């Protein structure tokens, strides 16, 4: 999935229930990818929209992407998850995301939200008692992950993880960090956390169809279609989408600009939702006067 909340599932390292995988759809031939080249008078930087949880059908990637990566000295990612201290991060999630004593999720959400969560659990075969000690933001992330796991998607096969594994001697630059992302989503107010949870379990019910449409947009490099689907398919409140997408994009654009002002070729991989649309990184770089063109692929 391409939504930023899905990226947080990976970087937060929440223990997810593993569902039976199904065969992911095979990619269709495309003349473009969600892949751009940004240019300045002194340098170029390549921008690739990532699917954070992927499948083997994503690979091999087009040679234009591989060649651009091979020629780059620096890899920019949202978070370098390979070097996250898993024990420390898991402890952080538990400290920020669990209720103490006899307190439980049901004391902090409305009857309507509880009903949605229980309906989600029944749909996906998850015991509700396994969630009641978790705060709404943690349950929301789990709810977002379950349908993707059922669709056969795996964080170890995500695009960003693929390039992190190939980085070798390249310098890796974290635009954010796993801890920063955990602080972001755990820092929502109680009201927003409940809205986040309510929307996540509602989205999960429709996830199979959404996944197919989003994958089609990614495989064909259709940035406009992807942006429209992200805006139309999610039930997330505007305030949450703003925090997870729009508010983070300028910092990602700043990271790209640092290299456009220099001479070190860089390859940036962030969630595809951050690149597209009027508030996306591509548009922000264009507004700052840089030439940004979507890369055409050879048949």
Average pLDDT over residues 246-268: 96
Q: Which residue has the higher pLDDT, 6 or 94?
A: 94
Q: How far apart are CA 174 and CA 202, in angstroms?
A: 32
pLDDT at position 6 is: 38
Query: Mean pLDDT across the stretch 118-128?
Result: 93
- Reported as a single tens digit per residue, the pLDDT across 7-19 is 344 434 333 323 3
Q: Which residue has the higher pLDDT, 284 or 241?
A: 284
Helix and strand numbers, DSSP H then E, in the chain: 13, 6
Each residue of 53-74: pLDDT tens digit? 778 888 899 999 999 999 999 9
pLDDT tens column, 187-232:
999 999 999 999 999 888 777 667 777 778 888 899 998 888 877 7
For the chain, the average pLDDT equals 85
Cα 270 from Cα 79, distance rounded (Å):
9
- Number of structural domains, the chain? 1
DSSP 8-class letter at 62: P
Higher-pLDDT residue of 187 and 51 is 187
Q: How confident is the model at residue 88 (pLDDT cuts 50, 70, 90)?
A: confident
3 state DSSP class of 265? coil
- What are the E-state strand segments in the chain? 32-39, 44-50, 74-77, 171-174, 266-271, 291-296
Q: What is the pLDDT of residue 144?
A: 85
CA-CA distances (angstroms) from residue 158 to 11, 49, 77? 12, 11, 12
CA pair distance 26, 170, nearest whole angstrom: 31
The residue with greater pLDDT, 125 or 236, is: 125
The stretch 35-50 carries a mean pLDDT of 96
3-state DSSP assignment of residue 81: helix
Taking a C-beta distance cutoff of 8 angstroms, is the pair 58, 27 a contact?
yes
Phi, psi of 296 (to 5 degrees): -85, 145
CA distance 51 to 27: 13
DSSP element (H, E) containing 235: none
d(CA 100, CA 249): 35
Calpha distance 13→203 (Å, rounded): 21
Higher pLDDT, 128 or 153: 128
Q: Is the pLDDT of residue 297 over 80?
A: yes
The model's pTM: 0.86
- pLDDT computed for residue 55 by the predictor: 80
What is the extent of the structural domain holding 263? 4-15+24-296
């Amino acid at each position: 999935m391409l939504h930023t909340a899905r990226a947080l599932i990976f970087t937060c390292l929440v223990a997810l229930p593993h569902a039976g995988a199904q065969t992911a759809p095979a990619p269709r031939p495309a003349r473009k990818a969600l892949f751009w080249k940004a240019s300045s008078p002194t340098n170029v930087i390549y921008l690739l929209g990532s699917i954070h949880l992927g499948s083997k059908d994503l690979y091999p990637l087009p040679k234009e992407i591989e060649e651009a990566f091979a020629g780059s000295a620096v890899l920019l990612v949202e978070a370098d998850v390979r070097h996250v201290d898993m024990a420390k991060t898991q402890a952080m999630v538990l400290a920020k995301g669990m209720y103490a004593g006899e307190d439980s999720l049901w004391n902090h959400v409305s009857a309507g939200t509880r009903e949605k969560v229980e309906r989600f659990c029944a749909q996906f075969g998850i015991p509700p008692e396994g969630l009641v000690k978790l705060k709404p933001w943690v349950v929301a992330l789990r709810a977002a992950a379950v349908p993707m796991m059922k669709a056969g998607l795996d964080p170890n096969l995500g695009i960003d993880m693929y390039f992190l594994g190939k980085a070798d001697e390249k310098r890796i630059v974290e635009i954010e960090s796993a801890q920063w992302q955990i602080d972001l989503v755990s820092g929502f107010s109680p009201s927003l956390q409940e809205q986040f949870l309510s929307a996540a379990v509602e989205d999960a019910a429709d996830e199979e169809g959404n996944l197919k449409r989003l994958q089609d947009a990614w495989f064909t490099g259709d940035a406009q279609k992807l942006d429209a689907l992200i805006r139309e398919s999610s039930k997330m409140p505007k305030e949450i989408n703003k925090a997870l997408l729009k508010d983070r994009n300028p910092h990602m654009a700043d990271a790209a600009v640092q290299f456009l002002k220099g001479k070190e070729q860089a390859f940036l991989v962030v969630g595809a939702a951050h690149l597209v649309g009027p508030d996306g990184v591509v548009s922000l770089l264009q507004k700052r006067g840089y030439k940004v063109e979507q890369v055409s692929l050879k048949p």
